[in-house]
Structure 1
Amino acid sequence: MADNSSVLTVSIVTPDGEVYSNDKCSLAVVQTQSGELGIMANHIPVIASLKIGSAQIKSAENSDILAVNGGFVEFSNNELTIVADSAELKGDIDVARAESAKERAQAHLKEANETHDTDSMKRAEVALRRAINRIDISEH
């Protein structure tokens, strides 16, 4: 068994509650606004904003990947907490629903472009990035 100084605890929470928890992780890789960030045990404390992307969590037993849609990450004392707007494990992603969301977002984006509605355009772009992220993670 690994000693506690060589592992980190990872938890991912959303407004709906805890989505993921693992207290035997060796590596976590997240997509921040500044780029990809890898965290191992004993990493310096960090807080960073997340972009729409993936969270990859590795442990001796397995490797998990989640679609994470914004939020922030905080790490200190070998505890990594991701507070996300939404997050889904790869195996929990409903691909048909994500494809439907992508099509709706594309239609809204086209309509917003035609009417020059910048607020609607921004919302549609975010919805489209979220749908594409979920589809990409499901295929990973």
Structure 2
Amino acid sequence: MNLEIITPDKKVYAGVVDSVILPGSNGGFQILNNHAPIVSTLAKGNLVIEANGKKETFVVDGGVVEAAKNKVLVLAESVA
């Protein structure tokens, strides 16, 4: 599935991933290929992506995520 992580300043990440683990406002959750459509707010925490057997971690400072039709868009307030 395609993932984009965007802040007000720049595009932080764009690429194909196998899974995304997100810090939801009501607890962490994972999005996999063919996930049902979802829109959720994000809390401050770790966003972990897995692609080709490798994991990469970003620290987001809140935001929103939208996932539909194997496209995931993360609009983050900031990313470290």
Instruction: Normalising by structure 2, report the TM-score.
Output: 0.95
Q: Does 1:47 align with 2:39?
A: yes
| Among 8, 24, 30, the residue aligned to 1:15 | 8
User: Equivalents in 2 of 1:27, 1:45: separation in Å?
Assistant: 15
Between structure 1 and structure 2, the one with the greater Rg is 1
Aligned residues: 80
Measure the CA separation in 2 of the matches of 1:61 and 1:50: 25
Unaligned runs of 5+ in 2: none
In the other structure, the counterpart of 1:103 is none
Large movers: runs of 4+ above 3 Å: none
Query: Whose strand fraction is larger, Structure 1's or Structure 2's?
Result: 2
Please state whether the residue corresponding to 1:43 is helix, strand or coil. coil
Structure with more relative contact order (C-alpha pairs < 8 Å, separation 6 or more)? 2
| Pairwise CA RMSD | 0.9
CA deviation after TM superposition for structure 1 residue 61, in Å: 4.7
Q: Percent same amino acid at aligned positions?
A: 28
Structure 1: stretches of 5+ with no match in the other structure: 1-7, 89-140
Offset at residue 65 of structure 1 (A) = 0.4
Aligned partner letter, 1:62:
K
